Amino acid sequence: MPWLDDILWTYQTLIHSLGINGLLALSMYVVLAAGQLSLGQAAFMGLGAYTGALLSLHTGLPFALVLAASALAPAVVAAVIGIPTLRLTGVYLAIATIGLGEVLRVVYVNAGITGGALGLNGIPGRTETWMIFLALGLALAGAFAVGQSRIGRAMEAMRSDGIAAAVMGIDRAAGQLAALLVSAMLAGLAGCFSAHSASFIGPNDYAFETAVTILSFAILGGTGSPLGPVVGALVLTALPEVLRPLQDFRLVFNGLIIVLVVLFLPRGVVPWRMPRLGRLPRGMAP
Amino acid sequence: MTALLHVTGLSKRFRGLTAVAHVTFSVRAGHIHGLIGPNGAGKTTVFNLISGVLPPDDGEIAVDGRSVTRLPVHARAGLGLARTFQNIRLFDGMTVLENVATGAHARLTATLMQCLFRTPAWRAEERRLREQSLELLEVVGLRDRADLPAGDLSYGEQRRLEIARGLASAPRLLLLDEPAAGMNPHETEALARLLGRVRDRGVTLLLVEHDMGFVMKLCDWITVLNFGRCIAEGPPAEIRRDPVVIEAYLGAKGAARLACGESSL
Ligand SMILES: Nc1ncnc2c1ncn2[C@@H]1O[C@H](COP(=O)(O)OP(=O)(O)O)[C@@H](O)[C@H]1O
Ligand SMILES: [Mg+2]
């Protein structure tokens, strides 16, 4: 199908962004679904991007291992931040992650190996479209499977009422830490894909602004199910392209759409709530 | 006889205020045990200490001979401890049925991998859970509300859902904090029958309740608190005639008036 190849070629950057932002949105969802707020998703993404880019530039590791390392590096940092802050209830994680992006930016600028303010150039284009969407599909399927089990119910319980959840035997600190680690891994994976898609990364790509954009995917899409944030990411990624004719007004319009959704669709563009207990097969229902 | 719950010298202070002071009592297996006392006597605080929601300043709590004093809240559910809340704490966004299923968390065994790959073992456990949860809703009379959001239930229904959620873990000891509060006499009567059935299923109950008729009819044994102290203990027939208890509830004047008449609590 040559016409399909044409489309894929012309819009490759956009198509990659759709999938990568979908992964980032899912990474945000995993934290929010467990009742915590992280503003470090962009920082986790950046760690994955730098880890992956450096490994590809300096070693001959196969891409699968590069991806695995890019998922693990941010998870280690997430553990260091999460273990002390998640023992406490409240917004400590959000506060602790606000500064993370800035701290890492300073590291990227000053450490020699990370290319300083210019960032890293000539990263090999190892990301294939199918890889991104396979990862996104698997992550979505996993989020649905786990979300509809005792683990998903525990997550919603700790988000809804931490004290009642604990009385039910749910270990909130452990559950929220696990969610944060999974979330950091997804963001790291997305960062690695994006670095090997764009061929260039810089220290300013993963700052607070990016963290807020990732959060807005989840807010626009809604967090009733894993689908919401992914749809939010697709909309917010495609919108600037669709609005291209508006030129300079496009950012204003983009912002306006987010505000309108928050005002009139408080549960997001996908208000559907994922059930937490499977249905009996038809005919068995009493 | 065996004490399922043993509380020794339990104390809790909130800044200047001593909410619970050296409280000692035992709950026998199979009993419905009442914990009564005027408002602010420290009953809810005792529940918070037993369930681990608050750490005690002093004292020991043992379930079935095993000390749980230093166990985190979530570890106590696995030892057969469950509770309801005076100020209802349901998971509002979840359905009624999901609330009950969440109450069963501690006794479910599915691992992350089993959930992720939806293995036959996971399926079987979830199917059993669904059936058991529906059965519990039947017991508390909420079977036809199963798929509603918990937040949509009436006050009395929410109280009954808290009981079903507490029973879902198949506890040995269920702490009930004012289960009849806000219920009409008809609902209260149904609740008394329900709690009797729960006891007959082998669940020991520790009950905080202000409705004296309810407490006296239902309880096998009663502990009375006042200003955080244990002021009386015994079977309902003794407690209702105990002048110390009557004075705590009605004040000295009321007690004197009561002594002239023939009525009791
Ligand atoms: N978390 C708390 N912080 C401060 N004071 C509290 C707290 N919980 C209870 N109290 C106080 O402790 C006393 C006992 O309260 P409580 O245990 O709720 O009584 P009861 O349940 O018997 O009505 C009251 O004076 C109450 O104001
Ligand atoms: Mg109380």
Q: Could you tell me how far CA B6 lies from the centroid of its own chain?
A: 15
B142 shares its domain with B185: no
With a 6 Å cutoff on the Cβ, whether B59 touches ligand 1 is no
The CATH fold assigned to A12-264 is ABC transporter involved in vitamin B12 uptake, BtuC (1.10.3470)
Final residue of a structural domain among B126, B149, B169: B169
A222: left (phi over 0), alpha (psi -120 to 50) or beta: left
Range of the domain at B2: 1-80+171-265
- Considering only CB atoms, which chain A residues are within 8 Å of B165? 168
B60 shares its domain with B190: yes
Final residue of a structural domain among B143, B169, B195: B169
B252 shares its domain with B184: yes
Query: Under a CB-based contact definition with an 8 Å cutoff, are residues A221 and A32 in contact?
Result: no
B107 shares its domain with B136: yes
Query: Under a CB-based contact definition with an 8 Å cutoff, are residues A101 and A188 in contact?
Result: no
As a whole number of angstroms, the distance between CA A99 and CA B140 comes to 50
As a whole number of angstroms, the distance between CA A165 and CA A155 comes to 9
B215 shares its domain with B257: yes
As a whole number of angstroms, the distance between CA B221 and CA B159 comes to 23
Output the CA–CA distances (angstroms, integers) from residue A207 to A32, A52, A87, A108, A111, in the order listed. Answer: 20, 18, 26, 12, 17
Is the pLDDT at A86 greater than 90, yes or no?
no
pLDDT for the residue numbered B262: 44
pLDDT for the residue numbered B259: 57
pLDDT (tens place) for every residue of chain B, 265 residues total: 579 999 999 999 999 899 999 999 999 999 999 999 999 999 999 999 999 999 999 999 999 999 999 999 999 999 999 999 999 999 999 999 999 999 999 999 999 999 999 999 999 999 999 999 999 999 999 999 999 999 999 999 999 999 999 999 999 999 999 999 988 999 999 999 999 999 999 999 999 999 999 999 999 999 999 999 999 999 999 999 999 999 888 775 555 565 555 445 5
B71 shares its domain with B115: no
As a whole number of angstroms, the distance between CA B50 and CA B6 comes to 10
CA B84 – ligand 1 centroid, Å: 16
Asked if the structure places residue B51 within a domain, the reply is: yes
Q: How many CB atoms lie within 10 A of CB A251?
A: 12
Final residue of a structural domain among B144, B169, B194: B169
| C-alpha closest to that of B93 among A216, A161, A263 | A161
The CATH number that applies at residue B260 is 3.40.50.300
Ligand 1 atom 9 nearest Cα: B45
Q: Give chain B's domain count.
A: 2
With a 6 Å cutoff on the Cβ, whether B40 touches ligand 1 is yes
User: Is the CB of B94 inside 8 Å of chain A's CB atoms?
Assistant: yes
B45 shares its domain with B66: yes
pLDDT grade for A23, boundaries at 50, 70 and 90: very high
Asked if the structure places residue B68 within a domain, the reply is: yes
- pLDDT tens digits for range A147-187: 999 999 999 999 999 999 999 999 999 999 999 999 999 99
Query: What does the DSSP assignment read for B16-55?
Result: TEEEEEEEEEEEETT-EEEEE-STTSSHHHHHHHHHTSS-
pLDDT for the residue numbered A90: 75
Which parts of B105-242 fold into alpha helices (H)? 112-116, 120-139, 155-167, 185-200, 212-218, 236-239
Asked if the structure places residue B86 within a domain, the reply is: no
Handedness of CA B87, B89, B90, B91 (dihedral sign): positive
> Quick one: closest CA in B to A150, which residue?
B105
Is the pLDDT at A281 greater than 50, yes or no?
no
Cβ <8 Å between A146 and B116: yes
Higher pLDDT, A214 or A91: A214
B165 shares its domain with B177: no
Asked if the structure places residue B85 within a domain, the reply is: no
B98 shares its domain with B70: no
As a whole number of angstroms, the distance between CA A76 and CA A72 comes to 6
**How large is the ipTM?**
0.94
B115 shares its domain with B66: no
Ligand 1 pocket test, candidate residues B11, B14, B47, B84, most atoms within 8 A of CB? B14
With a 6 Å cutoff on the Cβ, whether B45 touches ligand 1 is yes
- pLDDT tens digits for range A35-85: 999 999 999 999 999 999 999 999 999 999 999 999 999 999 999 999 998
Average pLDDT rounded to a whole number, residues A265-277: 93
B189 shares its domain with B256: yes
Asked if the structure places residue B211 within a domain, the reply is: yes
B225 shares its domain with B188: yes
